[in-house]
């Protein structure tokens, strides 16, 4: 298992490998965030195809 000195290094590594999806538009954290992440596990996406999400603009209702 890799260890990174901070979260920024980890995000940089994921991005360089094409494994990071940045979601920049405003989302409601209560209704949008969980379904998007869960979709990868319930949507039949193989583990090797899954990506990390970085939500940059989460809002509460």
What is the pLDDT averaged over residues 1-25?
Answer: 90
Q: Could you identify the residue written with the tokens 């603009």?
A: 57
Tokens of 22: 């940045």
Q: Which whole number is the average pLDDT over 21-32? A: 89
Specify the length of the chain in residues.
Answer: 61
3-state secondary structure 14-54: HHHCCCEEEECCCEEHHHHHHHHHHHHHHCCCCHHHCCEEE
Q: Is the pLDDT of residue 17 over 80?
A: yes
Res 10: pLDDT: 92
pLDDT value of position 19: 94
pTM given for the model: 0.74
d(CA 24, CA 38) in angstroms, rounded, equals 19
Indicate the DSSP class of residue 55.
E
């Amino acid at each position: 298992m890799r260890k990174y000195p901070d979260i920024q290094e980890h995000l940089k590594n994921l991005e360089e490998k094409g494994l990071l999806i940045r979601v920049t538009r405003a989302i409601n954290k209560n209704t949008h965030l969980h379904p998007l992440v869960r979709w990868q596990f319930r949507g039949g996406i193989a583990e090797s195809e899954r990506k990390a999400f970085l939500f940059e603009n989460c809002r509460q209702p």
